[in-house]
Structure 1
Amino acid sequence: MASGLTAAMETEDLTAHPGFSNDKYSMLIVIGALYRSHILDYIVVEIERGIRAWDVDLTVCNLDEQLKLFTSQHSSYESKDIRGQKTFHFSSDVLDIKVVVNPSEGLLYSEVHSFISSIPRHKLLVLTGQSLEDSGDLVLHTGQFTPNDFTQIFSDEEVCQTINVFKLS
């Protein structure tokens, strides 16, 4: 019985999973609170290095082209409630990019949760900015984003279901 189930899973059409996409990529870049302005140049270089190291199928997603499109065609939103909080977004047929600068704890938690649960199978999550030395918590304008926050997100029922769908594929 187990071998029959395994064989069925191996031959199953991946598109049968609602919302599942093997041909779409997604990137979430978060830049936490920056209390030292000189660190931004370093962060930008490191983000670009991380993006360039991302293992994407260049026949499906031409990163250079998509990043140029992001630069010229992104939408932006600036929070009226949180000083300095900005969100930049771009979406094409193959790549979704969201950059969140100086987010609140609630916004970051929501963005990471949505990102993990989203359609694309191929994802790049970059959390950058100042962190607390003893815990590694990312410093935000209104608090920190902690490893415990990740644990809570990955324990969420919707996220667990999404991960289980990916495990079957």
Structure 2
Amino acid sequence: MELENDDYRTISIASSGDDDTVTKVGDQIPEIIDGLKPWYSVITRIDLYWVCLTIFGLIAFFVLLMVPESESKDPLSFEEALRALLIMAGLVFGVFFAYKYVNAFKKAIFPIGCFALGQGKERYEVQEKIRWGVVVALIISLLSSTVYGLLT
């Protein structure tokens, strides 16, 4: 068995031996591994790169929709071009840093795996309370805003 530092495949298992034994053990191993997965394993599998790229694409799309087409095809002045370039650079850097910080937060709060020994067990219990707080708070806020939006 090999543990890998990969976002999608963290464990590799190779077995050899009698066909009946390998088949029996091969059927039991996925059940054991699935039992070890934390309840938040779906969150750890989300690739925030694609989420941020989609958000950036949607923002760019809506910006293009909001800019009216002008009848004159005059080129932008230097000041206007510089302002547009600075706005785009700010948007790109904003999305990039948001991705980096949200991804670091996700990895800290929702690790792929955790082995809690000694004092690590206390830290794990505190992190578990934080995880429940984050998830429950998010779900309650989404549900309450949806209900409020439907009622008003």
TM tier relative to shorter chain: under 0.3
When the two structures are superposed, what TM-score results if normalisation uses the length of structure 2? 0.25
The structure whose RCO (Cα within 8 Å, separation 6+) is larger is 1
Please say which structure displays the higher CA radius of gyration.
Answer: 2
Relative to its length, the structure with more helix (as a share) is 2
When the two structures are superposed, what TM-score results if normalisation uses the length of structure 1? 0.23
